[in-house]
Each structure stands twice: as structure tokens, then as C-alpha cells.
Amino acid sequence: MGRAPEIKTESNDGAVRALAEPQGELGDTTIHLTLQGKGGVGKSLVAAILAQYLAQRDLKVQCIDTDPLNRTFAQYNALAADRIQVRDEHNRIDQRSFDGLLERFLTERGATFVVDNGASTFLPLWHYLLENRALEYLQENHCKVYVHTVITGGQALLDTLNGFRELAASTNQRNMVVWVNEFFGRVEAQGKRFSEMTAFIESRDKICGTVFIPKRNQDTFGRDIEDMIARKWTFQEAIVAPEFQLLAKQRLTIVRRELYEQLEKIAF
């Protein structure tokens, strides 16, 4: 079984604590899935940021890594992510292995799950959810599901837009959170930002929120974030670590605050 991340966090006010209380007779379960068919676009980082944000709201966070190739999410020791084996003895994705994952969602009442999925499990998991009508079944059983996907600039822009389109086209719920990651370049095509693109306009009724990760000064903010990611540390671990200088800690505090402020506006 996973356990809630042991992360020291900034104090929360009473209003935030009230939001964290489970709702419904059985206690609603909330599930956050990171899904994107393109690898190397910051999906595991998104899962780690999301898990840290939810933990500081005093939620019972359960982290799960289903990526069979790159166990990046599970390498964050502070998040204590469980590793789920999804490949069979022939090294193929066994969709039946997702039954155990759904079982956890349905039986661990009141938990908040953050599940990081690899690019290789993107299509198998999403097709499994659709074929088994799992999203509707979860909703009927007091489970709220949010799908987090990444749109990134640079060479991967088209691939990540296509991944977003595929997800949006196959759901009828307003449950998608889009992370616009400009680390690799501006998310822009023909002079249009993401909010002006056809992909966004056609699917805006499926999106419940967006989080913008801007391109920052690579010599300062960029290097600090890269160092933190390389060590697989949470923001709090880096901010209190002697390995980081005071101004580096200040920059990481700024990044964390800006990301959390954006997440706070999404009605999870």
C-alpha cells in the first residue's frame, strides 16, 4: 500500500483545511491521471508538483507509478510512490493489470490518487478506461477523475497537441487539466498561443483548468529547477537543503508559489 507523502509544508488556513475534508457518505475518492503519448515532456514532473500541492492541503495522497520504462515518479522518495507492474512475462502491456489499479480506487475510500503513466502505457490505459466504461463506473461510485496532460513547445508541440486532442475527443466530461510547459520553447503556432489554437477552442468545454509553466532564465531559475529534478527532490526538500544557496532557494520558492496559486484556482 502507498502512504501519504511525508512532506513539510507551509501552514494552511482554515478555509484550505475545510476544502480538504472528504465529501459524501463514503468519502469521495479523487483520482488524478497524467496522460500524454509523447515522452520526455515533463509529465512526471507535473505528477510530482501535483502530489506536493495536494499533500500541503492535508489530503491523504497516494502516489502510483505505472511507467514500465522510466520510473521517474517513483524515484521521488518523499512521495513514496507505489510501482505497479503492467507488463507480462512477454514484456507486453497487460491491460488486465489495470484491474488492480481500479480496485484500489474503488476500495481506498477518501484517498487522493496521483497516477503517473508512461508514454508506452498512454494508449493501453486510456483504451482500457474507455472500453470498460471505467470513468462512468468510478463516477457512480463516488470517485472524481481528473486527466492531466502536457502541451509543450519546440519539436514536440504537434505531438503533444495530438495527444491532447485524442484525450479530449474521447471524454464527455469537463475533467481535463492542461499543463502548458514552455521549458522547451514557446507553445505557439502561426502566431497563436495555446488558448487561441483550434485544438483548445474545439475542446474548451472539456478543460476544467490550465497550469502555465513559463520559460525562465536558464542560468538561474532553469539551473535551480534542473538541479532539483536531477536529485528527485520536492520543492521543500530543496528549499531546506544546504546544497542550495539562499538565492536559489528564493527562486524555487517563487516557482512553487506561482504553480500552487494556479492550481488553487482549479475546482478539484
> What was the pLDDT predicted at 27?
66
The position carrying cell 475518492 is 29
Instruction: Tell whether the model's pLDDT for residue 37 goes beyond 60.
Output: yes
Q: How far apart are CA 10 and CA 236, in angstroms?
A: 9
Instruction: Tell whether the model's pLDDT for residue 2 goes beyond 50.
Output: no
Phi-psi region of 14 (alpha: psi -120 to 50; beta: other; left: phi over 0): alpha
> What was the pLDDT predicted at 93?
83
**Mean pLDDT of the 194-200 span:** 94
Q: Does pTM surpass 0.75? A: yes
**Mean pLDDT of the 176-204 span:** 94
Instruction: Tell whether the model's pLDDT for residue 239 goes beyond 60.
Output: yes
**Mean pLDDT of the 218-229 span:** 96
Instruction: Tell whether the model's pLDDT for residue 224 goes beyond 60.
Output: yes
pLDDT in tens, 66-114: 998 888 999 999 999 999 988 877 778 888 899 999 999 999 999 999 9
Q: Chain-wide mean pLDDT for the chain?
A: 88
HEC-encoded secondary structure of 94-108: CHHHHHHHHHHHHHC
**Class of domain 26-215 as given by CATH:** alpha beta
Instruction: Tell whether the model's pLDDT for residue 4 goes beyond 60.
Output: no
**What are the Cα distances from residue 148, in Å, to 4, 26, 266?**
20, 25, 12
Instruction: Tell whether the model's pLDDT for residue 8 goes beyond 60.
Output: no
For the stretch 234-240, contacts whose Cβ atoms lie closer than 8 Å and that sit 24 or more positions apart, written own/partner, are 234/5, 234/7, 234/48, 234/52, 234/76, 234/78, 234/79, 235/52, 236/7, 236/8, 236/9, 236/52, 236/78, 237/78, 240/8
pLDDT in tens, 122-172: 889 998 999 999 999 999 999 999 999 999 998 999 999 999 999 999 888
Q: How far apart are CA 35 and CA 136, in angstroms?
A: 18
Residue 263 contacts by C-beta under 8 Å, 6 or more apart in sequence? 50, 53, 209, 211
Split at pLDDT 50, 70, 90, the class of 233 is very high
* Lowest mean pLDDT segment, chosen from 91-100, 126-135, 220-229, 244-253: 91-100
Q: How far apart are CA 246 and CA 68, in angstroms?
A: 37
Where along the chain do the CATH 3.40.50.300 domains lie?
A: 26-215
Q: At 31, phi and psi to the nearest 5?
A: -125, 125
**Mean pLDDT of the 219-240 span:** 97
pLDDT in tens, 139-148: 999 999 999 9
> What was the pLDDT predicted at 149?
97
Q: What is the 8-class DSSP label of residue 81?
A: P
Q: Which of 49, 52, 46 is nearest to 5 (CA)?
A: 52
